[in-house]
Amino acid sequence: MDENIIQKKTIFSGIQPSGDLTLGSYLGAIKNWVELSDMYNCYYCIVDMHAITVRQNPTELRRRTIAQLAQYIACGLDPDKNTIFIQSHVSAHAELAWILNCYTMFGELSRMTQFKDKSAKNADNINAGLFTYPALMAADILLYQTDLVPVGEDQKQHVEICRDIAVRFNGVYGDVFKMPEPYIPKVGARIMSLTSPENKMSKSDKDPGGCIYIMQNPDDIMRCFKRAVTDSETFVCYNTSTKPGISNLMQIYSAATGESFEEIEKEFCGKGYGEFKTKVGEAVVEMLRPIREEAERLIADKSYLESVYKKGAEKAALTANKTLRKVYKKVGFVEK
């Protein structure tokens, strides 16, 4: 049993509790995480320290962090098989982040697309944390000697800077960090907004109709799908450049039903967009229903969730502290 764990490759990924989890978080990330659980030694984190790079309401942040944990489990992530934890509970993340800050260059941080986007959106709060956020993310990944980092396309640049930091550090001190690889799933990776299908479905979307939430009630979900943007043609056919709205709905329908694009095209041949949108909405409602119900049940069970995140943090800290101690020694800190 133990030997098995040692041989398994390690996975680390995380989602910020900066907004409620969306259909995009489920299909693009968590659903894939569940599938990786058996084959890999997985760490799935709720990265609350990343979330405060943008101003958060404390009560809401606390509520969303717990709700996110409940949703991870309700989506099928087994806390006995995976290490599920809250980032701020393992202090090694903050400690390694500081050290890595000293091995990360101002110039390379300035080139990060997400920093440029977020500072444009939060012009009144371009704080140092927002700028050095990739060093914290590198700490998350490197603490666990991670092999693979499942992320969306938009986070690839952050995994690359993590690799650059690791190479730089290893170059000075020898092999301290394992070199992680980004792992970008092919299916379901990019669920787009229902109202502006050229943009990723995002919890920070200003248009509430564009985004479906895991915990959303069925009536609201149906309303969003009925209002989804399509095009001026009349046939259901997959083409992301000429029919981004319909193609996105097909992606979602395919993920919810397991049907291929060909089968979907056949099923809706000669039928209107209205009928298609209703069917996609219904499929999503049925897919999310058991998840929402289970998550609601778990959110009511505070002591269970507490036992999960406490055990998760303990397990994570064991590995994280081992790496951190090695780093402290390498850089020349006196042992305490």
Out of 11, 67, 149, 189, point to the residue binding ligand TRP (CB under 6 A). Answer: 149
Pick the catalytic residue from 200, 243, 277, 279. 200
Does residue 302 have an active-site annotation?
no
Closest approach of ligand TRP to the CB of residue 336, in Å: 28
Output 150 or 245, the one with its CB closest to ligand TRP.
Answer: 150
By rule CB under 6 A, what count of residues binds ligand TRP? 13
If the CB atoms of residues 53 and 230 are measured against ligand TRP, the closer one turns out to be 53
Q: Give Cα separations from 142 to 20, 94, 245 (angstroms).
A: 27, 12, 38
Catalytic position from the list 118, 243, 277, 279: 118
- CA dist., res. 71 & res. 156, Å (int): 25
Asked if 155 is part of the footprint of ligand TRP (rule: CB under 6 A), the reply reads yes
Known catalytic membership, residue 118: yes
Q: Does 19 bind ligand TRP (CB under 6 A)?
A: no
Pick 49 or 228: Cβ nearer ligand TRP: 49
Q: Which stretch, 1-9, 147-155, 200-208, 247-255, contacts ligand TRP (CB under 6 A)?
A: 147-155
Q: Residue 192 forms beta bridges with which residues? A: 200
Q: Which residue among 9, 178, 203, 311 is the active-site one?
A: 203
Q: Does 316 sit near ligand TRP (CB under 6 A)?
A: no
Residues from 98 through 137 that contact ligand TRP (CB under 6 A) = 137
Interface with ligand TRP, residue 140, by CB under 6 A: yes
Stretch that binds ligand TRP, among 67-75, 148-156, 209-217, 313-321 (CB under 6 A): 148-156
- One residue of 23, 27, 42, 47 binding ligand TRP per CB under 6 A: 47
CB nearer to ligand TRP: pick between 93 and 279: 93
CA gyration radius for the chain?
A: 21
Dihedral angle of Cα 215, 188, 75, 317, to the nearest 10 degrees: -110
> Looking at 66, 97, 151, 317, which residue binds ligand TRP (CB under 6 A)?
151
Is residue 310 annotated as part of the catalytic site, yes or no? no
> Does the protein bind ligand TRP through residue 13 (CB under 6 A)?
yes
Residue 84 in contact with ligand TRP, rule: CB under 6 A? no
- 3-state SS, the chain, equals CHHHHHHCCEEEEEECCCCCCEHHHHHHHHHHHHHHCCCCEEEEEECHHHHCCCCCCHHHHHHHHHHHHHHHHHCCCCCCCCEEEEHHHCCHHHHHHHHHHCCCCHHHHHCCHHHHHHHHHCCCCCCHHHHHHHHHHHHHHHHCCCCEEECCHHHHHHHHHHHHHHHHHHHHHCCCCCCCEEECCCCCCCCECCCCCCCECCCCCCCHHHCCECCCCHHHHHHHHHCCCCCCCCCCCCCCCCCHHHHHHHHHHHHHHCCCHHHHHHHCCCCCHHHHHHHHHHHHHHHHHHHHHHHHHHHHCHHHHHHHHHHHHHHHHHHHHHHHHHHHHHHCCCCC
CB-CB contact of 150 with 122 (8 Å): no
Whose Cβ is closer to ligand TRP: residue 14's or residue 185's? 14
> Which region, judged by CB under 6 A, interacts with ligand TRP, from 6-14, 104-112, 120-128, 190-198?
6-14
> Minimum distance from CB of 207 to ligand TRP (Å)?
20
What residues are annotated to the active site? 118, 200, 203
Which residues contact ligand TRP (rule: CB under 6 A)? 12-14, 16, 47, 50, 137, 140-141, 149, 151, 155, 158
